[in-house]
């Protein structure tokens, strides 16, 4: 058997096993598509949720107290207007929700500054201070749930959710229950997660520190090894090595967030899902590093180019390397193949 075939099998089998474990365990966990709120402090500028049963999540904040932010849902009879509202921590400002629309039975005392269209009813859903948070495996983060709503729609029309509080403060709104993702939403999840951690109050330095450490330490170790071997490090080697280190560095970022979160939530079965999501990019990253250091010369064989393209495609599927890692892996694979074909 060729050495190239053996090296590919050395990492593809562990990857497949981990991927099957992930698929087997992820079915019980819900995920949300990220959405931006925009400027929605007026009923006329309400944030449109054009697919009201799709599971979205909006991380935002109220700028001041006694002012509402509005979300608009075009609903059909028989659909369900549902979702939850949460906050970044137990000491955060706790917002309330008002559900507005035709056929809504009035309930609770709705503040006078909440705008209600003619012919609509309004139901107050008060927020409550959350207890112990729940571990969220895809972000990962502690979830502090403050309110839930679940309303069957009896009349077709436009419905609104107004979120307000006694003061300004951060909150997330997660409407819908159907887990559906566009290709763009799927690919951009790693950067959406960075946005979530910024919303939580973490700094960019804290979020990216594990990645930076891996990049510096990884390149230092590789250069020292290749110098000892007397091997040349060409620009194509650097691309292959950079993709692998981005895979491992992105996994290190997630691992740090797991550690940070379980200090608050404690261990739960959802941690296993995140650990698999960490292991998958690590396996691919090690494979890329092996490809980048195996050959001392400036050129790679064609089989390495094919392997790098496979590593890039699989990396996109498992949110590895902040998208940059898989893109660089794909580019390096294409360059290797093109160079190999042109070489006499």
Separation of alpha carbons 222 and 149, rounded Å: 54
Contacts of 242 by beta carbon, 8 Å cutoff, 6+ apart: 215, 325, 328
pTM, entire model:
0.88
Look up residue 241 and give its two tokens: 């090595």
Q: What is the percent of the chain with per-residue pLDDT over 90, rounded to a whole number?
A: 72
Round to whole Å and give the CA distance between 292 and 287: 9
Q: How many angstroms separate the CA atoms of 90 and 97, rounded?
A: 18
SS3 321: helix
- Give the class (CATH, top level) of 33-180: mainly beta
Residue 101, helix vs strand vs coil: strand
Each residue's pLDDT tens digit, 167-191: 999 999 999 998 878 888 888 899 9
The reported pLDDT for the residue numbered 1 is: 41
DSSP one-letter string for 47-100: EE-SSTTB-EEEEEEESSTT--EEEEEEE-TT-EEEEEEEESSTTS---EEEEE
Task: Summarize pLDDT for 80-125 with one digit per residue, the tens.
Answer: 999 999 999 999 999 999 999 998 999 999 999 999 999 999 999 9
Query: How far apart, in whole angstroms, are the C-alpha atoms of residue 161 and residue 149?
Result: 10
Q: How much is the average pLDDT of 220-228?
A: 81
What's the CA gap between 53 and 32, in Å, rounded? Answer: 11
Q: What is the pLDDT of residue 3?
A: 47
Residue ranges, comma separated, of all CATH 2.60.120.380 domains in the chain are 33-180
In the structure encoding, which two tokens stand for residue 245, read together? 């280190």
Q: CA 75, CA 64: separation in Å to the nearest integer?
A: 30
pLDDT, greater one: 192 or 31: 192
Instruction: Return the higher-pLDDT residue of 135 and 340.
Output: 135
According to the model, what pLDDT value does residue 233 have? 67
């Amino acid at each position: 058997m060729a050495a190239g075939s053996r090296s590919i099998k050395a990492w593809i089998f562990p990857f497949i096993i981990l991927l099957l474990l992930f698929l087997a365990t992820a079915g019980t966990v819900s995920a949300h598509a990220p959405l931006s709120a925009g400027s929605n402090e007026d009923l006329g500028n309400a944030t449109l949720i054009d697919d009201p049963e799709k599971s979205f999540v909006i991380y935002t904040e109220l700028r001041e107290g006694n002012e509402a932010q509005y979300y608009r849902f075009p609903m059909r009879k028989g659909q369900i207007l549902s979702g939850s509202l949460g906050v970044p921590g137990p000491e955060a400002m706790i917002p309330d929700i008002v559900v507005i629309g035709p056929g809504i039975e009035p309930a609770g005392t709705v503040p006078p500054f909440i705008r209600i269209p003619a012919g609509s009813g309004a139901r107050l859903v008060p927020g409550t201070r959350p207890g112990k948070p729940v571990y969220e495996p895809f972000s990962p983060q502690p979830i502090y749930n403050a309110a839930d709503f679940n309303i069957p729609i009896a009349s077709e029309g436009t419905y609104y959710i107004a979120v307000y509080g006694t003061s300004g403060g951060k909150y997330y709104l997660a409407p819908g229950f159907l887990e559906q993702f566009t290709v763009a939403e799927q690919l951009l999840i790693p950067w959406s997660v960075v946005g979530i951690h910024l919303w939580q109050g973490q700094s960019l330095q804290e979020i990216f520190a594990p990645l930076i450490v891996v990049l510096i330490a990884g390149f230092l170790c590789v250069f020292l090894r290749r110098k000892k071997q007397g091997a040349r490090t060409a620009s194509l080697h650097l691309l292959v090595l950079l993709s692998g280190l981005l895979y491992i560095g992105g996994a290190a970022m997630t691992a740090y967030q797991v550690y940070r979160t379980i200090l608050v939530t404690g261990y739960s079965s959802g941690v296993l899902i995140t650990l698999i999501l960490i292991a998958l990019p690590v396996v691919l990253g090690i494979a890329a590093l092996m490809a980048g250091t195996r050959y001392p010369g400036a050129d790679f064989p064609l089989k390495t180019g094919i392997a790098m393209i496979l590593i890039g495609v699989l990396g996109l599927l498992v949110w590895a390397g902040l998208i940059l890692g898989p893109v660089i892996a794909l580019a390096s694979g294409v360059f290797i193949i093109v160079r190999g074909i042109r070489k006499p």
